[in-house]
Structure 1
């Protein structure tokens, strides 16, 4: 294992564990140093114990580099690898085995921490057949959301990367998409013309989460009724232990999802786990489709789908109603209909 590979794997595991961004940033900084320095100088500094003289290298990162150069598995890597493992229940296993892709994830084009190529490479390693790239829309400025011009540039980039993936012999493709903001009146943060060009559209509420329940209900129903919206993202907007659920009439919202063919996302982020169990039960009763999505913002977070699979199994979500258990062609036929 090279120092670069070891640092990349540490970053992956820290992201999988949802570690402090400050800790992750330290390893990202060290990775930049390793990529920039002459390999001979790096080896000499490791041999002489002078790595920490380099700006951006600390004790922990120096240890990883030194042990990797010595042909060892770095002890810090072994530690975070073990500590960041995600539990998958026996009941959740058939759900994870059935998943063929991930319909909600982000890249460095918005607020993600990894480029599209790295997210795709990890998805391939996980055995996925496809991923839907759903960077944020322009309204979410804090997330560096994409306006129409940048989205069109991204679509060209996705075509290029898909060509490279095919040339490398992988049976995998990146589907185009966006996590589009739902405005307060239920309209969407992208033109209908461009929404219609995307393969999969996830619509989510990111602002005014505490608005009146009646208004929130109308807002969400208007969005899921839009013919271009395929998945309702993290419907309550909650952060476990930090932010309460938005208030809305779930009967109306899930009835609308069933009527208009919009899937309810089971968001796998451990700080979201959204919807709560009672709302999953309600959505099942209305005959809704579901999508078990990582909402990953880094490569390690693509491994979060077991969280959603465990919960789906616990609530007995019908597997045939989970849209990302379908092939890419089946998924696209459903979104186009």
Structure 2
């Protein structure tokens, strides 16, 4: 076990046990710091001089670099049990992420930086660039012309990425009041993956909200239903939208539209009861970070922990699928 893996696994197990996001992030930050260290033993006094490494993470680095299982990790593994191991195994076979933003909309980093982080830091085979659609002006949503320019930009990025990774074209498309999609159909047909999300009138009555969501997930252009309740669970918070979840998830299962397990710490959407309901309905799932910066891609492991807790296997999680299977499923739905 190398220091990077040890630190990532500790971060995962802390998430599993409900530790604060700040504590989890400390181990991911330390893992980023050691990724480029040469192989071989690293003294704790040397490790602590690295940016983002403190005394606790330095001890982990020193022990792992010497070929030992760090004491901190061994204790967490003993306390967490076999269910946590199942979650880690799911995270380990992740191949991609269906929901990633760049500075073309409300993300903070260029397209290539997000793609490179997905490839090198996460070991992904693919990731989907899903900047916002036009109606979400507060997030600099992409007009049709800007989206066309972005398609060319993605092609250019892929030409520099090498054969082991592909950045897929996509969008996080607003679900409009009548369930239609906030982008030209001709453009949506060109994209590899479409995530559809509700961003407006989140406090609508259950009946119109249900109709709106069912219409969207039945649209053959939609691959993933994003953060389905719209809730925010940190700070001042935001209550979840009200809708007939059984009807929405039944429509997802029938159409083959994946339900997103959104990994942003302030979302954790859907909540546990709805996640169980979607699983019972037979839905597919996409474990997505909704990342707006490279370091946020590490949030994905929390979604795999949630998936493991309710017994979901890799076959139900499209973010563990090889690229060829993902694209074949998309093609079969159009």
CA distance in 1, matches of 2:259, 2:319: 12
In structure 1, which of residues 180, 189, 204 is the aligned counterpart of residue 182 of structure 2?
189
Answer whether contact 1:148 1:190 (CA < 8 A) is retained.
yes
Aligned match of 1:30: none
**Residues 269-319 of structure 1, C-alpha deviations (whole Å, 9 max, x = no match):** 111110111111111111111000011000000010011011111111232
**Residues 121-165 of structure 1, C-alpha deviations (whole Å, 9 max, x = no match):** 111111100100000111111111101000000000000110111
Answer whether contact 2:125 2:165 (CA < 8 A) is retained.
yes
Aligned match of 1:288: 283
Aligned: 1:132 with 2:128: yes
Aligned match of 1:221: 214
CA distance in 2, matches of 1:256, 1:191: 23
Answer whether contact 1:277 1:315 (CA < 8 A) is retained.
no
Q: Write out aligned runs for 1:175-324 (5 A).
A: 175-241=168-234, 242-324=237-319
**Residues 87-131 of structure 1, C-alpha deviations (whole Å, 9 max, x = no match):** 994231111012100110100010001111111111111110010
Q: Which runs of 5+ in 2 are unaligned?
A: 1-19, 23-45, 59-75
The Cα RMSD (Å) is 2.1
Q: Which runs of 5+ in 1 are unaligned?
A: 1-16, 20-70
- Pair 90,159 (structure 1): closer, same or farther in 2 beyond 3 Å: same
Runs of 4+ in structure 1 off by over 2 angstroms are 71-77, 79-83, 87-91
Q: Report the alpha carbon displacement of residue 80 of structure 1 after superposing the two structures with TM.
A: 11
Farther-moved stretch of structure 1 (313-322 vs 255-264) = 313-322
**Alignment partner of 2:52: what SS?**
helix
**Residues 30-58 of structure 1, C-alpha deviations (whole Å, 9 max, x = no match):** xxxxxxxxxxxxxxxxxxxxxxxxxxxxx
CA distance in 1, matches of 2:263, 2:270: 10
Greater Rg over alpha carbons, structure: 1
Question: Between Structure 1 and Structure 2, how many residues are aligned?
Answer: 264
Q: Write out aligned runs for 1:29-44 (5 A).
A: none
In structure 2, which of residues 25, 29, 53 is the aligned counterpart of residue 78 of structure 1?
53
Aligned match of 1:118: 113
Q: TM-score, length-normalised on structure 2?
A: 0.75
CA distance in 1, matches of 2:233, 2:275: 16
- Pair 80,235 (structure 1): closer, same or farther in 2 beyond 3 Å: farther
CA distance in 1, matches of 2:164, 2:268: 31
Aligned match of 1:155: 151
CA distance in 1, matches of 2:327, 2:197: 20
Aligned match of 1:65: none
Q: Report the alpha carbon displacement of residue 226 of structure 1 after superposing the two structures with TM.
A: 0.6
Answer whether contact 1:230 1:261 (CA < 8 A) is retained.
yes
CA distance in 1, matches of 2:169, 2:56: 32
Q: TM-score, length-normalised on structure 1?
A: 0.74
